[in-house]
Structure 1
Amino acid sequence: MRFPLIPTTLVLAAVATMIALGVWQLQRKAEKEALLETYRAAMEMPPIAWPETPDEDLLYRRATGFCVEPMRWRATAGQNRDGETGWQHIASCRTGGGEGPGMQAVMGWSRSIDSPEDWAGGEVTGIITLDADHGLRLVSENAAPGLEPVARPSAEDIPNNHLLYAIQWFFFALAAAVIYLLALRRRLRD
């Protein structure tokens, strides 16, 4: 009986790939820890003016912007400061002489998807976070009339699961190697 060279090569390549993915996840863990530390430091820095162009280096920094006029509203799932789920209401604000919205401002939370109609704009102070559609948004400390304050964004809420992912890849590699060795042993024995 010949030694199964091709299946052994394929299994060894798969095991090596899984180990490489585990090592990569360990590297990502270190990168994520550094990023989270940057966010924590940003939370302690003095407030800044709302940036004219999106800059992810400003995430979790306190900022103040001025909403000249809310041009439109949208609602996304969110929580209030008591941890209740509902809708956070985001105003697309005109911030100056420009034509389009210059600031996305999370102006509060409610159980209803209906956005407030009676907030005409003004100064907004809060924390800069990511906005999937517009780059950045400003989560207001104070709610617009008829809304409750949203949960405060925190770098502590960002998960760092890369160690678990690494362990998972190493386990997959070990399991594949053990299963193949048992199958190979049985084949050679028979």
Structure 2
Amino acid sequence: MSDSGTVTSNADRTRGKAARPRLWVTVLSLTAFAILIALGVWQIERRAWKLALIDRVEQRVHAPAQPIPAPAAWPAVTAANDEYRHVNLAGRFLHDRETLVQAVTEEGPGYWVLTPLQRHDGTQVLVNRGFVPTERRDASTRQGGNPEGEVEITGLLRITEPKGGFLRNNVPQHNRWYSRDIAAIATARGLHDVAPFFVDADAGSQSAQGPVQGPIGGLTVIRFPNNHLIYALTWFALAFMLAGKFFVTFGGGLFRRKKARKGFVHEPAGGPDAAARRTGSDAGTIVEQA
């Protein structure tokens, strides 16, 4: 008959070997864990950057209006350094060269009215005078809202929006605009010396005349999604779930291997405990070593 101690010892060693993770599994798990932790740390860094951006924009929006950058500084204007600055400028609107850009606002669907402002130095700046509903798309329905002569505009400096909107490209030849692409609009309207940015007019600016006929200004939406903390916690949770799964799957095998190393001995038949532990006529006692 087979020795039961030997059988038990061999079974434990077999289970220990079976529970031992292969090298490629260990390397893959450690790599995935490191990547998930790195993604979590990256999201924490992104959150800090986003909070700083929100604070910077808030300061710009509520600061007193300053003159727009001089033409010599236009090439250096960037979103990071200049977008949403509270600015002012003066000039005369060129209403015959306005451009309508499709928009959806809190007022409903309609259009932004972008009109070139001719300045005294000969340069031109596109001003988003505000929103008009679809039924007032035709300029003839709001001529009384178009200010003539010199006007002073205050608003927020915005960066050009090239190519088009989401899944919709601008079609200048058909006068269909889905984004405020300054270069394309300037080319389509025959404008020269145009600033590479535009200005969203404030609600109280002289961008329109009359409370009904003119475009509705001051509808700039300033919203920065900030879900980075949720993303970071998700990556960290996935990392620790992976680590927990690895430990549960293979950690027990480590303890079983330690137990297997203790070994078992076979006490010959006739020993002091043989009578109490016999399982056969000549079976010995299985004694676990300390």
Q: Name the TM-score, length of structure 2 as normaliser.
A: 0.52
| TM-superposed deviation, 1:150 | 4.5
Alpha-carbon separation, structure 2, partners of 1:84 and 1:182: 57
Matched letter for residue 138 of structure 1:
V
When Rg is computed on C-alpha atoms for both structures, the one with the higher figure is 2
Matched letter for residue 167 of structure 1:
L
**Bigger proportion of residues as strand:** 1
Alpha-carbon separation, structure 1, partners of 2:104 and 2:139: 16
| TM-superposed deviation, 1:75 | 1.5
| Matching residue of 1:137 | 198
**Bigger proportion of residues as helix:** 2
| Matching residue of 2:232 | 166
The runs of 4+ residues in structure 1 deviating greater than 6 Å are 185-189
Matched letter for residue 161 of structure 1:
N
Unmatched tracts of structure 2, length 5 or more: 1-17, 163-181, 183-195, 257-290
Q: Percent identity?
A: 25
Alpha-carbon separation, structure 1, partners of 2:78 and 2:243: 46
| Matching residue of 1:125 | 154
How many residue pairs match? The answer is: 181
Structure 1 pair 112/13, CA: closer, same or farther in 2 (3 Å)?
same
Q: Equivalences for 1:88-107 in 2 at 5 Å?
A: 88-91=111-114, 93=116, 95-96=118-119, 97-98=122-123, 102-107=124-129
Q: Equivalences for 1:10-159 in 2 at 5 Å?
A: 10-51=28-69, 52=71, 53=74, 54-56=77-79, 57-65=81-89, 66=91, 68-69=93-94, 71-79=97-105, 83-91=106-114, 93=116, 95-96=118-119, 97-98=122-123, 102-112=124-134, 114=137, 116=139, 118=143, 119=146, 122-133=151-162, 134=182, 136-142=197-203, 144=208, 145-154=213-222, 157-159=223-225
Structure 1 pair 94/108, CA: closer, same or farther in 2 (3 Å)?
closer
Unmatched tracts of structure 1, length 5 or more: none
